[in-house]
């Protein structure tokens, strides 16, 4: 039995972003991002299949381009940043679906609630930058129901509609470099 070499990869945060979108008044989407986050990948052998991915984001770094809304999101009515400072994800499987598209399944923890979610990870490619650094890029996307993680605050409009939709689209563009 041969042992596959394990390589560790760290997020290049300067070339990565974490964004989300949620329906507002059911007529448009509000976008936001996390400004402080980290991720690592442990690759087994030459293939990205079966890699182990870990991710975390600081709740205090949430940014929707509106200070009042950001404050509300950090409050106990939503994320409760004082008590639950991090959103985390740890993969349980990373399997190739077709070509450069992978199914990324793992445990996401938000506000102390852990649920298994499935995301899609598309390998953008591998490249050596002009300074000789090896890089790999992924676009990771999916959708979660915020209410399943205890983010249940809402209000009802005069017409009976909800202010905030339950589904949140997640988009992460991540660039990694081998750990030093």
Range with lowest mean pLDDT among 46-55, 101-110, 152-161: 152-161
pLDDT-derived band at 123, boundaries 50, 70, 90: very high
User: What DSSP character marks residue 156?
Assistant: B
| Sequential DSSP letters for 82-109 | TT--EEEEEEEEEEEEETTEEEEEEEEE
Mean pLDDT value across residues 156-180: 77
Range with lowest mean pLDDT among 37-41, 51-55, 138-142, 147-151: 147-151
pTM over 0.95: no
Report the distance separating Cα 74 and Cα 33, nearest Å: 13
Give me the half-sphere count of Cα atoms (radius 13 Å) on the Cβ side of residue 43: 13
In tens, the pLDDT along 50-78 reads: 999 999 999 999 999 999 989 989 999 88
Mean pLDDT value across residues 25-53: 88
Backbone angles phi, psi at 146, to 5 degrees: -60, -30
Task: Name the H helices within the chain.
Answer: 67-74
pLDDT at 47: 86
Q: Which domains does the chain have, with CATH numbers?
A: 6-178 (2.40.128.110)
CA distances from 3 to 6, 44, 45, 46, 96 (A): 9, 9, 9, 12, 21
Look at residue 167 and tell me whether its pLDDT is greater than 90: no
pLDDT at 16: 96
User: What DSSP character marks residue 157?
Assistant: -
Task: Name the H helices within 17-135.
Answer: 67-74
């Amino acid at each position: 039995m041969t042992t596959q070499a394990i390589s560790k990869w760290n997020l290049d945060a300067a070339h990565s972003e974490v964004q989300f979108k949620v329906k507002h008044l059911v007529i448009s989407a509000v976008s936001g991002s996390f400004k402080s986050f980290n991720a690592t990948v442990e690759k087994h052998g030459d293939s990205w299949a079966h890699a182990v991915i870990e991710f975390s984001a600081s709740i205090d770094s949430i940014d929707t381009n509106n200070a009042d809304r950001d404050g509300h999101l950090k409050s106990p009515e939503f994320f409760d940043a004082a008590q639950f400072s991090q959103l985390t994800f740890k993969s349980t499987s990373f399997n190739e679906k077709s070509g450069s598209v992978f199914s990324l399944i793992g445990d996401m923890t938000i506000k102390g609630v852990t649920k298994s979610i499935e995301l899609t990870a598309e390998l953008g490619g591998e490249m050596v930058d002009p300074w000789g650094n090896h890089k790999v890029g992924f676009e990771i996307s999916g959708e979660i129901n915020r209410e399943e993680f205890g983010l249940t605050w809402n209000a009802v409009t005069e017409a009976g509609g909800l202010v905030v939709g339950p589904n949140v689209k997640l988009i992460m563009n991540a660039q990694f470099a081998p750990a030093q």
